[in-house]
Chains A and B, each alone.
Chain A
Amino acid sequence: MKTNLRTDDLTCPSCIKKIESGVGKTKGVSDVSVKFNLNKVTVEHDDTVKADDLKSMVEKLGYPVKSVNTFA
């Protein structure tokens, strides 16, 4: 499964690492990529991970999420 999260404008490239390592440690997540210029976080995960959990995780790291889309 793949979930795309659109965040508020990302301003510092250092947040890439922060989000990638923060979300990446979650059980069931296989890949995280942060598209800095697009304000987009793409997460590959299995079905044990809920999109809402990903959202709150990214928000807890300090980046408000505007929209969430999950694809099978």
Chain B
Amino acid sequence: MALWFNKHLNTLMYTSGALLVIGLVFLVLGYSVVRDITFILATLVAIGPILQRAWSALTVKSFSIELLITIAVIGALIIQEYTEAGIVTFLFLFGAYLEKRTLAKTRSSIQSLLDMAPNVAKVMRDGEIVEVDIDEVEVGETVVVQPGGKIPVDGKIVKGKAQINESAISGESILQNKTLEDEVFSGSVIDTGYIELEATKVGEDTTFSKIIELVEEASERKSGTEKFLNRFAQYYTPAIVVLAILVGFITQNVHLAITFLVIACPGALIIGAPVAYVAGIGNSAKKGVLVKGGDTVDRFAKIDTVIFDKTGTLTEGRPSVTNISVYNDMTEDEMLALSASLEQVSEHHLGRTIVKEAEDRKLKGKYSEVTDAEAIKARGVSGIIDDDHYYIGNKKLIDEQHIAIPEEIINDYISEQKEGQTAMFVVKNDEVIGLISIMDRIKEDALEAVRTLREHGAKKLVMLTGDNRYAAEKVADILGLDEFHAELLPDEKMAYIENEQNQKRKVMMVGDGINDAPALALSDVGVAIGHGGTDIAMETADVVLMSEKLKKLAIGYTMSKSTFNIMMQNTGIALITVVLLLLGVVYGYIHLASGMLIHQASVLAVIVNAMRLMPMNRKENEEVSAKEAAA
């Protein structure tokens, strides 16, 4: 029965609507008996699905708005208000129909993201390619992806090359060239080319699955406002029902009593906030910005202080060795090979840069054997080669070890630092023998992102970094930040955030999500950049930017602001409707049909309002195509 009603819902609605129109024609013509009959018919046609839902809710012992409507309509028929009964039932179905159509629009971003999930995989088994369900792929298996195909799991390319669209992950449709050894992600699509990959993460462990899980959770997580409105609705509906019964008994005015029933469910109030959040969160997610729920949207929108980490956040985080000064009889390559030998223990990006440079110069064969190698946190490394004791590190390390630096080297050091380089000392037995300079470029879109943040209300932009003062100053200068603090230890960053919060500032911390995890957790909104550190970042951060582009931060911020505004507008619309309906009914201006009309109109109003959050990309697309046309 339920299925039959669902299947013929629209037919019933149209029939009921047509009958109403016929009735109105007869009303104008003056045939009141015919009018009554068509209105009764319209009511009976439309009440079916409503009655069915009311009943199915009752069977699981829950009250529903359908039950209230059914009672109201039966009441209206009894007191011979056929016109009202007909219009109320029709409007209820018609409103629900429009709601469904429009709601689907607000959810389309999330839905389309979910639809990007791959279903099947082509796997190499016993030398043959077999197609299997996505859940059957195992780690280590070789997966084949053909042109136009969707990559089913996370993996590493073992054969072939391809141009890959990773928009499911990063929200950007720019094609990436990937070849041997490169990492690829589930959900991406191969544009041209052919690859075979070794599965490294499958099923629910893939980056894409994690994104989906996170977005799903986010779309259901209630904000404070939502919880409050739900509580309000929980008391409001029973209160109005009790009121209706009391009014009915005391005044014997059945018409008034059933009118209360029609307005008892504050639909716009219940749906106004979630519809805004789901549109905003869905749209952000599609652009590669994962916001973890309505409560995060609220906090994100209120941020006035933004704290950036430097390396990998404002800068590209892919530093390169730009200069090597040697102060003894070694060659540049010898100095580099020696430093790289020591830096092999380092997890720090600067140490890694030195090792990478040495490898690029094919010096790996010339490494020395190091004993007692040790990384010194936030300072550098130390180790012993052939009974000589070495340090490589920043000035802090050198000062702490009370190593004297000759004036010539200090001058070199200062001039390097002033150019924005990070210079590291190489020390052999307490004597400085070399200076290695490393440079990390500022991200292309950093300036624009900073500007957008300011335009949309971020008042204080600060950079906190463990890096040296000169390098920091250069970056802060170029980007026009309000403040920067350099050479900080992780706990000093935490102290800074706490201090800002104590001054009633709403602080957002932006970092790579690995080194900054505690700071991200402490701040009002923690933003992790890039999906490189996926697992940790996704757990600690409130917002995850799925690419290294800083403009994502600006997108997330403006999107949260508009989502928050629309949520507030919707709440306003809903509250005003509740008050108007109540007063209107009490003072006799609003009756059954008009009550239902206003109720349904308010529900539609909040949904349509939330739809404004959707087409933000239309303008962007136009800009892109305009640029393409120009090029």
Contact = CB atoms under 8 A, between A and B. Distances in A.
B125 interface: no
A38 B56 contact: no
Nearest to A33: B220
The 8 closest A-B pairs by CB, nearest first: A22-B60, A37-B278, A37-B219, A21-B60, A11-B99, A62-B2, A62-B53, A9-B100
Interface string A1-39: 000000011011110011001100100000000011111
B216 A38 contact: yes
A64 B6 contact: yes
22 contacts: A8-B6, A9-B107, A13-B230, A13-B271, A18-B64, A21-B60, A35-B216, A35-B219, A35-B220, A37-B107, A37-B219, A37-B274, A37-B278, A38-B107, A38-B114, A39-B107, A60-B2, A60-B56, A61-B2, A61-B60, A62-B52, A63-B6
Given A38-B216, A62-B6, 11 more contacts: A11-B103, A12-B65, A12-B270, A13-B271, A14-B62, A35-B220, A36-B274, A38-B114, A38-B220, A39-B107, A62-B52
Contact of B62 (A9, A21, A39): A21
Interface of A: 8-9, 11-14, 17-18, 21-22, 25, 35-40, 59-64, 71
A46 to B, nearest CB: 20
B279 to A, nearest CB: 9
B135 interface: yes
A45 to B, nearest CB: 17
B504 interface: no
A12 B112 CA distance: 22
Contacts of A13: 230, 270-271, 274
Contacts of B230: 13
Interface in B552-586: none
B104 A9 contact: yes
A49 to B, nearest CB: 17
A2 B440 CA distance: 48
B3 interface: yes
B511 interface: no
B267 interface: yes
B60 A14 contact: no
Contacts of A60: 2, 56
Given A38-B220, A62-B6, A71 B135 contact: yes
Contacts of B274: 13, 36-37
B5 interface: yes
B52 A36 contact: no
Contacts of A40: 216
Interface string B1-44: 01101100000000000000000000000000000000000000
A64 B53 CA distance: 13
Interface in B258-314: 265, 267, 270-271, 274, 278
Contact of B60 (A25, A38, A63): A25
A37 to B, nearest CB: 4
A14 B103 contact: no
Contact of B5 (A18, A21, A62): A62
A62 B3 CA distance: 7
Contacts of A9: 100, 103-104, 107
Contacts of B111: 38
A59 B110 contact: no
Given A61-B60, A62-B52, A62-B56, A14 B107 contact: no
Contacts of A35: 216, 219-220
Nearest to B219: A37
A14 B135 contact: no
Nearest to A12: B65
Contacts of A62: 2, 5-6, 49, 52-53, 56
A61 B56 contact: yes
Contacts of B5: 62
B96 A11 contact: yes
B65 A21 contact: no
Nearest to B97: A11
Contacts of B270: 12-14
A60 B59 CA distance: 11
Contacts of B64: 14, 18
Contacts of A12: 65, 267, 270-271
B568 to A, nearest CB: 19
A28 B103 CA distance: 33
B219 A18 contact: no
Contact of B110 (A18, A37, A64, A71): A37
B57 interface: yes
A22 B52 CA distance: 15
A5 B362 CA distance: 56
Contacts of B62: 14, 17-18, 21
A38 B2 contact: no
A27 B60 CA distance: 14
A15 B435 CA distance: 68
Contacts of A18: 56-57, 60, 62, 64
A16 to B, nearest CB: 10
B627 interface: no
Interface in B102-124: 103-104, 107, 110-111, 114
Nearest to B63: A14
Contacts of B135: 71
A21 B56 contact: no
Nearest to A58: B2
Contacts of A25: 60
